[in-house]
């Protein structure tokens, strides 16, 4: 395999370099190789099958067709070499600081995707058939916190080894980060003038627009961020579905209004009174459906999640909540093709509490919701650790204070 062109940064060390399986090369070379052998076979048949004409003259070796075949052979050889060079230049690099996907297209472009170790949430490996299982290759997807797109490495060689290496470095980085924060907490306790422990800020807090504006209040089509609290409503497609029958009712009212006014079906006073009452009923139908959509919210706070379902006018309310420490797993899905086209779906949050699982139905961009919940849970877990460290330090301080009272130092 070719050496990676990417160089380590500072004290960075490359731990493992993964490559694409030879099957990936074989699949890309199939067409050029087939065309190459076809051209060689046809050129050989035409060359060996030459016969002199009626005057005994030998036909030329390189006529027009043979020239085209020869050029095709050279071109297929060049394409094959190019594909081989392009195949051997793609790597997935695991270092002590990050995971990098290096994708070099020879003489055309060079790009690499990178995810720091402290942003990696999960590594998924997929082998889709018995051939991939037998030859030990498959698809590796490295998922990151925040809106960062995952790194997908197709037809990777030894995908389970890649998964093992990445998760090993992620766990090592988490332990190292925990030690650094613990040391900063202790130094802060011993020396009040020491720098404070860096606060943990999730990437989404820098990307979502804060709450504001009457239009966003009336039509909250995107997630709303206010004082660290994120609120989701159901997707606008669901609002259109809820407003379908009110719209049909409004069209029916307009048709009735036209008939009554045009043909004088009823006396003017009873007619206008009836139409007014019906119009108010239609408006109430619209308002009910709209409020029914706007009152169903999913809330993510720094320490808990809330699923709030309400009917208009306070007729019904169901509020379920759980702390972020109870979250076991978060799954995102788009149930059908319409949901995938318009970018909405469901997010299932599995908890260990008695409240059971939470389902955020029909939320915009469920993959983003999944990443945000993971980010908030990760921060909550760090805050819990720091509170535990603080309690431990308090116990140690009280122990030494009590010990000094009982056994004062000798002069």
In a domain, 143, yes or no: yes
Q: Is the dihedral of CA 376, 382, 388, 393 positive or negative?
A: negative
Of 256, 289, 322, which closes a domain? 289
One domain, residues 102 and 162: yes
In a domain, 388, yes or no: no
Distance from C-alpha of 244 to C-alpha of 171, rounded to nearest angstrom = 51
Q: Is the dihedral of CA 358, 363, 368, 369 positive or negative?
A: negative
In a domain, 348, yes or no: yes
Range of the domain at 312: 215-234+296-381
Distance from C-alpha of 106 to C-alpha of 83, rounded to nearest angstrom = 9
The torsion defined by the Cα of 319, 306, 298 and 219, in degrees rounded to 10, comes to 70
Q: What pLDDT is recorded for position 169?
A: 92
DSSP, collapsed to helix, strand or coil, labels residue 347 as: strand
One domain, residues 222 and 261: no
In a domain, 350, yes or no: yes
Give the per-residue SS3 of 217-261: HHCCCCCEEECCEEEEECCHHHHHHHCHHHHHHHHHHHHHHHHHH
Of 289, 323, 354, which closes a domain? 289
Q: What pLDDT is recorded for position 211?
A: 57
Q: What pLDDT is recorded for position 153?
A: 92
Q: Is the pLDDT of residue 48 over 90?
A: no
pTM here? 0.67
Residues in Cβ contact with 132 at an 8 Å cutoff, skipping those fewer than 6 apart = 138
Range from 98-107, 150-159, 311-320, 381-390 carrying the lowest mean pLDDT: 98-107
Positions of E strands within 311-372: 317-323, 327-333, 344-351, 358-364
One domain, residues 81 and 139: yes
Domain at 134, CATH number: 2.30.29.30
State pLDDT tens for residues 227-246: 888 999 999 999 999 999 99
In a domain, 64, yes or no: yes
One domain, residues 244 and 307: no
Name the percent of the chain lying above pLDDT 70: 90
Distance from C-alpha of 203 to C-alpha of 119, rounded to nearest angstrom = 10
One domain, residues 75 and 159: yes
Domain count for the chain: 3
One domain, residues 164 and 284: no
In a domain, 195, yes or no: no
One domain, residues 20 and 124: yes
Q: pLDDT band at 409, cuts 50/70/90? A: low
Q: Is the dihedral of CA 105, 110, 111, 117 positive or negative?
A: positive
In a domain, 395, yes or no: no
Positions of E strands within 287-339: 297-300, 304-310, 317-323, 327-333
Judge contact between 22 and 132, C-beta under 8 A.
no
Average pLDDT score over residue span 365-385? 87
Two structure tokens written together for 69? 């075949």
Average pLDDT score over residue span 338-359? 87
One domain, residues 134 and 266: no
Q: Count the residues in the chain.
A: 411
Residues in Cβ contact with 204 at an 8 Å cutoff, skipping those fewer than 6 apart = 146, 147, 225, 230, 371, 372, 375
State pLDDT tens for residues 241-293: 999 999 999 999 999 888 888 777 667 778 888 889 999 999 999 999 999 99
In a domain, 202, yes or no: no
Q: pLDDT band at 185, cuts 50/70/90? A: confident
Judge contact between 79 and 71, C-beta under 8 A.
no
Q: Which residue has the higher pLDDT, 108 or 231?
A: 231
Q: Which residue has the higher pLDDT, 2 or 294?
A: 294
Distance from C-alpha of 371 to C-alpha of 230, rounded to nearest angstrom = 13
Distance from C-alpha of 118 to C-alpha of 10, rounded to nearest angstrom = 18
Average pLDDT score over residue span 41-54? 77
Distance from C-alpha of 372 to C-alpha of 299, rounded to nearest angstrom = 12
Q: pLDDT band at 56, cuts 50/70/90? A: low
One domain, residues 164 and 256: no
Residues in Cβ contact with 184 at an 8 Å cutoff, skipping those fewer than 6 apart = 194, 195, 196, 197, 198
One domain, residues 258 and 322: no
One domain, residues 35 and 159: yes
One domain, residues 36 and 105: yes
Q: What is the mean pLDDT of the chain?
A: 85
Closest by Cα among 94, 104, 72, 73 to 5 = 104
Q: What pLDDT is recorded for position 137?
A: 92
Phi, psi of 197 (to 5 degrees): -65, 130
């Amino acid at each position: 395999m070719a050496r990676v062109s990417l160089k380590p940064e500072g004290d960075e060390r490359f731990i493992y370099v993964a490559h694409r399986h030879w099957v990936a090369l074989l699949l890309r070379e199939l067409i050029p190789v087939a065309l190459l052998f076809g051209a060689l076979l046809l050129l050989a048949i035409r060359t060996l099958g030459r016969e002199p004409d009626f005057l005994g003259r030998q036909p030329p070796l390189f006529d027009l067709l043979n020239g085209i075949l020869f050029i095709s052979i050279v071109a297929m050889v060049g394409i094959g070499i190019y594909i081989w060079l392009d195949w051997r230049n793609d790597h997935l690099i695991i270092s002590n600081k990050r995971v990098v996907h290096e994708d070099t297209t020879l003489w055309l472009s060079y790009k690499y995707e990178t995810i720091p170790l402290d942003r990696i949430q999960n590594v998924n490996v997929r082998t889709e058939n018995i051939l991939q299982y037998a030859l030990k290759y498959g698809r590796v997807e490295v998922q990151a916190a925040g809106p960062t797109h995952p790194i997908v490495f197709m037809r990777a060689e030894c995908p389970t080894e890649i998964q093992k290496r990445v998760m090993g470095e992620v766990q090592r980085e988490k332990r190292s980060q925990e030690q650094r924060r613990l040391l900063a907490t202790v130094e802060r306790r011993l020396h009040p003038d020491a720098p404070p422990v860096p606060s943990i800020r999730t990437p989404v807090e820098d990307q979502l627009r804060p709450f504001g504006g009457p239009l966003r209040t009336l039509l909250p089509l995107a997630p709303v961020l206010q004082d660290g609290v994120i609120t989701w409503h159901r997707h606008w497609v669901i609002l259109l579905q809820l407003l379908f029958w009110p719209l049909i009712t409004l069209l029916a009212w307009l048709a009735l209004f036209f008939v009554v006014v045009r043909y004088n079906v009823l006396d003017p006073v009873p007619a206008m009174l009836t139409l007014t009452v019906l119009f108010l009923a239609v408006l109430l139908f619209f308002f009910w459906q709209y409020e029914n959509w706007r009152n169903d919210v999913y809330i993510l706070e720094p320490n808990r999640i809330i699923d709030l379902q309400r009917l208009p006018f306070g007729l019904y309310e169901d509020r379920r909540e759980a702390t972020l420490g109870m979250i076991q797993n978060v799954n995102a899905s788009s149930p059908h093709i319409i949901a995938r086209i318009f970018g909405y779906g469901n997010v299932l949050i599995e908890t260990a509490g008695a409240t059971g699982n939470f389902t955020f139905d029909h939320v915009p961009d469920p993959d983003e919701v999944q990443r945000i919940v993971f980010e908030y849970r990760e921060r909550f877990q760090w805050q819990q650790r720091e509170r535990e460290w603080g309690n431990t330090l308090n116990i140690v301080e009280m122990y030494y204070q009590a010990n000094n009272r009982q056994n004062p130092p000798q002069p």
